[in-house]
Amino acid sequence: MVTDLASEHLAFRKVLRSFAEKEIRPRAAQADQSGTYPEDMFNAMRTAGLLGLCIPQELGGSGGGMTALCLAIEEVCRYCNSAGLMLLLTRLATGPLLLSSNHTLRDQYLPEVASGRLRGSFCLTELHAGSDVNQIATSARPHGHGFVLNGTKAYISGATVADFFIVWAKTQTAAGADEMAAFLVDRDTEGLALGHIDEKMGVRAVPTAEVVLSDCYVPSDHRISDSEGGMRHLMASLNSARPGVAARGLGLAEGALAYACEYARNRTAFGTAVIDIPAVQQMIADITIGIEAARGLVHRAAQMVDRGEYGLEAAGMMAIAKCFATDLAVRASSDCLQILGAAGYMSDHPMERFYRDAKQLQIVEGTNQIQRVIIARAVRDGRLTFAD
Ligand SMILES: Cc1cc2nc3c(=O)[nH]c(=O)nc-3n(C[C@H](O)[C@H](O)[C@H](O)COP(=O)(O)OP(=O)(O)OC[C@H]3O[C@@H](n4cnc5c(N)ncnc54)[C@H](O)[C@@H]3O)c2cc1C
């Protein structure tokens, strides 16, 4: 197979594959059924050194960057998308710190995340403001030597186990204009509480919950966006995490296809193996084409992030990778479930779980409709030209 990965990444993939088979695969179904956060999986990923992949070596991580993190996410998601989300959260909650000029907080928290001593959540969405992030109502009012935060964040992944929260809120510039800003709020801060814990369709082992801020005082040194440019900081944080969401879709599609092919080899209908039935072969071929294309996109997007390309110029490519790989995950899980027939619908097999998990990926971190808006604007404005 032709690949764009360096030899050390290919070697790393081999290690990851056997790790995922041994540590993630056996626990995936039970973690989904119980709907409780799998501390044992988290500990296995910690022991394997996977929690600091995207964190630079000088900050206690392995410095593997987004490319290595995407490989790890892809491999664990062949069996368990919740495990992939646990890995993605190591980047989603640290991205705003990595991109921040507040080096004190960065230097303090990132080594803790890399070692697994601390976990973070990314708190942007509110019940009435998802895609339209400008409509968030959470406020950060200057008070004394800090800010008072008020508002409620919704659907926050990993909130029940988070030790700190990256909270996006509206504040004001010196000139009095509205300004987006991120704050790091520790779990035990007075005025921060968890609200409703969601009952959800998929990715059930990583709970989502409301995070409620009621007159929550945060010192000014816990502000991580600069006094101007908060929206740019938010967009760069989201753009640079998108390859990780794409990798979740890619891994899920690979896992679904591998499982369906194995089943179809051993199942017969009308005197032939199901895998030899032309209608089934069409589905297998289409998913395989999608996987090969998605892999190229995920690796390209991840490598761009590792080169520091995640601003407006790169937004279109990040969106293409996220959109394509997560749409693929939904199609692949549906078709692979179909290949198993009734068995695919039952929880004895992982396909119904993959099908439920895949749907989340088209919604999170910018819905796929929003990704298409980003792509179309990038084409319109000449940022995606296909000249190279
Ligand atoms: C399981 C799960 C985990 C999540 N985890 C987190 C988390 O950790 N942190 C966090 O901050 N958020 C999280 N979210 C929230 C997620 O990011 C939002 O749900 C998402 O951004 C969409 O917002 P919304 O649900 O309010 O949809 P809305 O913005 O209300 O959109 C509704 C529909 O309209 C479409 N739409 C809206 N505007 C446009 C447009 N301009 N053009 C085309 N179509 C449009 C959307 O695509 C969608 O289909 C999570 C969500 C889920 C389901």
Centre of ligand 1 from the C-alpha of residue 364, in Å: 6
For 75, the token pair is 């491999």
292 in catalytic set: no
Nearest alpha carbon to residue 66 among 76, 75, 58, 56: 56
Q: Which CATH class is domain 230-380?
A: mainly alpha
Quickly state the pLDDT bin for 173 (edges 50, 70, 90): confident
pLDDT digits (tens, 9 = 90+) for 114-126: 999 999 999 999 9
Asked whether the beta carbons of 246 and 223 are under 8 A apart, the reply is no
Ligand 1, atom nearest to 368 Cα: 47
Residue to mutate, 81, 85, 119, 125, ligand 1, most ligand atoms under 8 Å from C-beta: 125
Ligand 1, atom nearest to 366 Cα: 21
For 126, the token pair is 């509110």
pLDDT digits (tens, 9 = 90+) for 1-35: 446 778 888 889 999 999 999 999 999 999 999 99
Q: Is the CB of 159 under 6 A from ligand 1?
A: no
Mean pLDDT of 183-188: 98
388 or 171: which leads in pLDDT: 171
Q: Is the CB of 209 under 6 A from ligand 1?
A: no
- Please check whether the two domains, 120-222 and 230-380, share a CATH topology: no
Ligand 1, atom nearest to 132 Cα: 29
**Does position 48 have pLDDT exceeding 80, yes or no?**
yes
Asked whether the beta carbons of 49 and 64 are under 8 A apart, the reply is no
What is the model's pLDDT at position 387? 62
For 40, the token pair is 């044992």
Q: Which CATH class is domain 7-115?
A: mainly alpha
pLDDT digits (tens, 9 = 90+) for 327-360: 999 999 999 999 999 999 999 999 999 999 999 9
Amino acid letter for position 195? G
109 or 172: which leads in pLDDT: 109
Express as a percent the part of the chain with pLDDT over 70: 99
The fold of 120-222 is Butyryl-CoA Dehydrogenase, subunit A; domain 2 (2.40.110)
Domain ranges of the chain: 7-115, 120-222, 230-380
Residue 152 per-residue DSSP state: E
Q: How far apart are CA 225 and CA 86, in angstroms?
A: 24
Centre of ligand 1 from the C-alpha of residue 163, in Å: 24
Q: Is the CB of 62 under 6 A from ligand 1?
A: no
Nearest CA to ligand 1 atom 30: 130
Mean pLDDT of 204-228: 95
Please state, in angstroms and as integers, the Cα–Cα distance from residue 123 to each residue in 31, 131, 154, 194, 226, following that order: 24, 13, 8, 12, 18
Nearest CA to ligand 1 atom 37: 131
What is the model's pLDDT at position 318? 98
Residue to mutate, 127, 128, 131, 357, ligand 1, most ligand atoms under 8 Å from C-beta: 131
Q: How far apart are CA 137 and CA 170, in angstroms?
A: 7
